[in-house]
Structure 1
Amino acid sequence: MTIIEVCHVPPFSNSCRPTPTELSLPLNFSDIFNLKFPPVQSIFFYKLGESTTTFFKTVILPRIKHSLSITLFHFLPLAGHLSWPQHSAKPIVVYNTANDGVLLTVAVSDEDLDHLYSDIRYASESNPYLSPLSVSETKASILSFQITLFPNKGFTTGYTLNHAFLDGRSISLFMNSWACICRNLDANLKISPNSLPEELNPSFDRTLTQGSKGLEMKYLNYWLGLKLPGSDANPRSLKPIPFPVPADVVRATFPFSREDIKKLGERVKSKLERGNQTKPFSTYVLAYAYTLVCMVKAKGLKNSNKVKFGLTADSRTRLNPPLSRNYIGNCVTSCDVLVEVEHLLKENGVGYVAKRLNEMIKGLENGVLEIAKEKVPFMDVEPGVRVILVAGSNRFGKYGADFGWGKPMNVEITTIDVGESFSMMESRDESGGVEIGLVLKKHEMEMFDSLFVHGLKMLRSSL
């Protein structure tokens, strides 16, 4: 791979639509919860046979850059940086100079694009197509992007985001807004920042989260007092805590069709004991439960082992008063449960997990702030317990990021290679379908592949 350009993209501004010279935003309780977690990275793969080097440089890249600049006009705080001034009790997001903006790296690769998104491949193969954030003890960027051309095959768009300010819904809204602006640019690129469609219009209103200041300070004091191997000695440092990434793991994507989900729901319901029915299982719950059981089996866990699994729920509409669905920032609540693996290995292990997930979701009705009060970023886990989490959701609309040359062939949440996690998003080609992204050791992936495919095949033939 060859890097051909690294440039700074500022928010759009002209005499008719000047960009504000400065602004600042406080972090909310959910932002501070994520303050020192590693950045989140993702790659969008686009197939385009006409993507010659000339077409890329004269058509694709100018449109990408100009539309990114316009998008930053609408999402101005994302062009700023995270700071923790000495006079401030907590970090803030600041936009205040002409040097603010996002870093865009442009590269060319001669690797096989199809292999990178459609085959089982080493997880590390994704790394060259992502650019790092600029982070120091006192200043941290919010976003960075990398566009990589695969001549005559297509291109990728990769992002790296600071988890202290953005969650999955926030970045999905940004990417879909950027794509919408790009595909609607005039051919001469002279479009100015028109209003976004209402469904893409971001909200940065922080007034409705002011009642959570006690939580903010609880989480902040937790980070200030935390001492972990490899972490920065300065407690106010904005550098994330390093998480090791295994070198021998592979990555793959597994699809559920809408019919698979339907039959899975029927199967789980039929196995539940009479009088032990729960509310209907959502697509998210069914896909999660089936994937988790396959993972536990593929990892070779035994009845006597314990596993902690959980979910991260969007809290925007669960707060009182609720936030806009287009609120930009972290606004999530995490729930988890510790269980013995033997429950997952039984005949209706999927049903068991689905019920526990439904119980967690129902528990959110008691108030997300009450649940948040019981959490700290790193919960103590007894030795030997495996922690398995999910990243993403089938409701974020990742495949809506069509920049004008078709929707992505695949979207990868790259950073599930940290820890034991899997990703979930909506299906590219079918409403109601789901895609699962997974990173495992090679022999575990082979076992998971067999279990996942065989289980769905048996399900289709048995009902």
Structure 2
Amino acid sequence: MLNVLEKCRISPPPATVGDRSLPLTFLDAVWLLFFPVHQVFFYDFPHPTSYFLETIVPKLKHSLSITLQHFFPFAGNLVVYPNQKHLSNAKRPEIRHVEGDSVMLTFAESSLDFDDLTGNHVRESHKFYPLIPGLGQPSKVSNYVTIPLFTVQVTIFPNKGIAMGLTNHHCLCDATTRFNFLNAWTSIAKHGTDELFVASGSLPFYERVIKYPESLDEIYFNQPGIEIIDEGYKLPQLVSDTDKARATLVLTQAHISWLKKWLLTQLPILEYVSSFSVACAYVWSCIAKSRARIGG
């Protein structure tokens, strides 16, 4: 189902980032043991593999390198100091970038059915797993452990489309930061430089400007389970043998309009109801009804 065409490591341009670190806060500590975040984006691409290798691959490598110049944590590693009992006497986990750090970028070719994967019907979840890159495992360096934070896999379905799979450690970023990273990468890939991205005023800001009691760090970094992060710790992996299914449900404009009208008949005092609010409320109510039916 999957033929790996190339594996490479992409670093920011030389001497653009250097050695930098970003200490985690109690807000990040919550996610240290969580499952990595996975995403897959599909794009129509009616071209053969040879064209993909000649035109798309070089652009993705070049643009990713420039993007990492501005989003250095994506190329870095999570650094954890194991066997330290109390934060007050320990070194806090941090995201660290050392000159030469890189992101694993994989290019592959798939024989899976592109139309099946991108359709709105029900299909088995494990069909998507070959398109999602693994994050890698921790390694011991001196007195600390490094954990990879980000990896990318771009898979071509010859003459049909492309899938871009992303995996990141949960404490690397939130959804907004990931979206900004992808926006930057897209702009740089399209224009060949980062001039428009820099001019847009969307550069990430890494300073820790919010003041909070240090006791919060000690509480959250000493939560049960964190002490198991050492060179033997294994990051959670996707399990290919699963009975889960995935489907896309489409709410059309007509559906949204009907929901708004129904809601306003129930609550006529509302002055405005957004499409997003109505859609979310409808989905949540369906989830609640489903769980009640199956006893979950």
Same fold per TM (> 0.5)? yes
Percent identity for Structure 1 against Structure 2: 29
Query: Would the alpha carbon gap of residues 128 and 261 (structure 1) be closer, same or farther in structure 2, given more than 3 Å must change?
Result: same
Report the Cα distance in structure 2 between the residues aligned to 1:242 and 1:12, rounded to whole angstroms: 31
Report the Cα distance in structure 2 between the residues aligned to 1:146 and 1:280, rounded to whole angstroms: 42
Report the aligned-residue RMSD.
Answer: 2.7
Kindly indicate whether structure 1 or structure 2 has the higher relative contact order, using CA contacts under 8 Å at least 6 residues apart: 2
Cα displacement (A) at 1:242 = 6.7
Residue of structure 2 in register with 1:122 after alignment? 124
Q: Give, as a single letter, the amino acid of the residue that structure 2 aligns with 1:182.
A: A
Superposition pairs of residues 216-231 of structure 1, within 5 angstroms: 216-222=217-223, 225-226=224-225
Residue of structure 2 in register with 1:108 after alignment? 109
Cα displacement (A) at 1:289 = 1.8
Q: Give, as a single letter, the amino acid of the residue that structure 2 aligns with 1:61.
A: V
Cα displacement (A) at 1:23 = 0.5
1:67 aligns with 2:68: no
TM-score (norm 2): 0.85
- Cα pair 1:26 1:92 within 8 Å, conserved: yes
> Unmatched 5+ residue regions in structure 2?
83-88, 140-144
Query: Would the alpha carbon gap of residues 205 and 257 (structure 1) be closer, same or farther in structure 2, given more than 3 Å must change?
Result: farther
Q: Give, as a single letter, the amino acid of the residue that structure 1 aligns with 2:261.
A: E
- Cα pair 1:142 1:162 within 8 Å, conserved: yes
Alignment counterpart, residue 284 of structure 1, candidates 241, 264, 276: 276
- Cα pair 1:36 1:239 within 8 Å, conserved: no
Residue of structure 1 in register with 2:252 after alignment? 257
Query: Would the alpha carbon gap of residues 212 and 256 (structure 1) be closer, same or farther in structure 2, given more than 3 Å must change?
Result: farther
Alignment deviations for residues 232-258 of structure 1 (CA, whole Å, 9 cap, x no partner): 872567654678787112111112234
Report the Cα distance in structure 2 between the residues aligned to 1:284 and 1:245, rounded to whole angstroms: 33
Report the Cα distance in structure 2 between the residues aligned to 1:53 and 1:241, rounded to whole angstroms: 32
Cα displacement (A) at 1:266 = 2.6
Query: Would the alpha carbon gap of residues 94 and 279 (structure 1) be closer, same or farther in structure 2, given more than 3 Å must change?
Result: farther
Other structure's SS at 1:254 match: coil
TM-score (norm 1): 0.56
- Cα pair 2:17 2:69 within 8 Å, conserved: no
> Unmatched 5+ residue regions in structure 1?
186-190, 227-231, 306-385, 387-463
Report the Cα distance in structure 2 between the residues aligned to 1:25 and 1:112, rounded to whole angstroms: 42
Query: Would the alpha carbon gap of residues 67 and 217 (structure 1) be closer, same or farther in structure 2, given more than 3 Å must change?
Result: same
Residue of structure 2 in register with 1:458 after alignment? none
Superposition pairs of residues 159-198 of structure 1, within 5 angstroms: 159-185=166-192, 191=193, 196-198=198-200
- Cα pair 1:103 1:145 within 8 Å, conserved: yes
Alignment counterpart, residue 20 of structure 2, candidates 16, 20, 23: 23
Residue of structure 2 in register with 1:310 after alignment? none
Other structure's SS at 2:293 match: coil
Residue of structure 1 in register with 2:85 after alignment? none
- Cα pair 2:188 2:197 within 8 Å, conserved: no
Other structure's SS at 2:212 match: helix
Cα displacement (A) at 1:261 = 2.6
1:155 aligns with 2:162: yes
Report the Cα distance in structure 1 between the residues aligned to 2:288 and 2:95, rounded to whole angstroms: 40
Report the Cα distance in structure 1 between the residues aligned to 2:236 and 2:105, rounded to whole angstroms: 24
Query: Mean Cα displacement is larger for which, 136-145 or 124-133?
Result: 136-145
Query: Would the alpha carbon gap of residues 85 and 233 (structure 1) be closer, same or farther in structure 2, given more than 3 Å must change?
Result: closer
Query: Would the alpha carbon gap of residues 43 and 193 (structure 1) be closer, same or farther in structure 2, given more than 3 Å must change?
Result: same
Residue of structure 2 in register with 1:234 after alignment? 228
Other structure's SS at 2:250 match: strand
- Cα pair 2:187 2:197 within 8 Å, conserved: no
Cα displacement (A) at 1:54 = 1.6
Report the Cα distance in structure 2 between the residues aligned to 1:77 and 1:240, rounded to whole angstroms: 19
Report the Cα distance in structure 2 between the residues aligned to 1:278 and 1:235, rounded to whole angstroms: 50
Query: Would the alpha carbon gap of residues 194 and 293 (structure 1) be closer, same or farther in structure 2, given more than 3 Å must change?
Result: closer
Report the Cα distance in structure 2 between the residues aligned to 1:240 and 1:283, rounded to whole angstroms: 38
Q: Give, as a single letter, the amino acid of the residue that structure 2 aligns with 1:159.
A: L
- Cα pair 2:184 2:197 within 8 Å, conserved: no
User: How many pairs are equivalent?
Assistant: 282
